Amino acid sequence: MSLALYNKWRPMRFDDVIGQEHITRTLKNQAAQNRLSHAYLFCGPRGTGKTTCARILAKAANCLSPVNGDPCNACAACLGINDSSATDVFELDAATYTGVDSIRDLRDEAVYAPSELRKKVYIMDEVHMLSQSAFNALLKILEEPPEHVMFILASTELHKIPATILSRCQRFEFRRIERRDIAKRLMKVAAEEKIPLADSGALTIAHMSDGAMRNALSLLEQASALSGGAALDSDGVAKALGLVTAEVLLNCASLIAAGDAKAVLALFAAQYESGVEPAGFADRLMALYRDLLIRKTSDTDVLIGSGYTADDLSRLLPQYAPERLLFSVKTLRDALLQLNRSPNRRIDVEMALLALCRPSLGGDYTALAARIAALEARVAAGFVPAAGTAAPAGAAGAESPPPAANPGAPAASDPPAVPAVPAAAPDAPQPVSFRDELISALRDTLDRMTYSYIKTCDILAGGEKLILRAPDDMTYEIVSKRKTLDAVAETLAVLGRPHRVSAELGRAAEAPSGDGAAADGFDELLSFAADNPDIAGIR
Binding site for Zn ion (CB under 5 A): 63, 71-72, 75, 78
CB of 9 to Zn ion, least distance (A): 20
Q: Which residues of 335-370 are buried (b: 16+ CB within 10 A; e: fewer)?
A: bbebbeebeebebbbbbbbbbbbbbebbbbbbbbbb
- Pick the closer one to Zn ion by CB: 72 or 250: 72
Distance of alpha carbon 271 from alpha carbon 403, whole angstroms: 33
CA pseudo-torsion sign 250, 255, 261, 267: negative
Q: Are strands 430-431 and 458-462 parallel, antiparallel or unpaired?
A: antiparallel
CB of 78 to Zn ion, least distance (A): 3
CB of 86 to Zn ion, least distance (A): 11
Report yes or no: 93 and 126 within 8 Å, Cβ to Cβ. yes
CB of 12 to Zn ion, least distance (A): 10
Rounded to the nearest 10°, the torsion over CA 337, 343, 345, 346 is -150
Paired with 43 in beta bridges are 155, 173
What SS3 string covers 397-454? CCCCCHHHHCCCCCCCCCCCCCCCCCCCCCCCCEECCCHHHHHHHHHHHCCHHHHHHH
CB of 88 to Zn ion, least distance (A): 14
CB of 116 to Zn ion, least distance (A): 13
Distance of alpha carbon 99 from alpha carbon 306, whole angstroms: 47
Q: What are phi and psi of 90, to 5 degrees?
A: -115, 125
CA pseudo-torsion sign 113, 117, 119, 121: negative
Amino acid at 234: S
CA–chain centroid gap for 301, Å, is 25
Distance of alpha carbon 302 from alpha carbon 282, whole angstroms: 20
Q: How many CB atoms lie within 10 A of CB 465?
A: 13
CB of 17 to Zn ion, least distance (A): 17
CB of 109 to Zn ion, least distance (A): 25
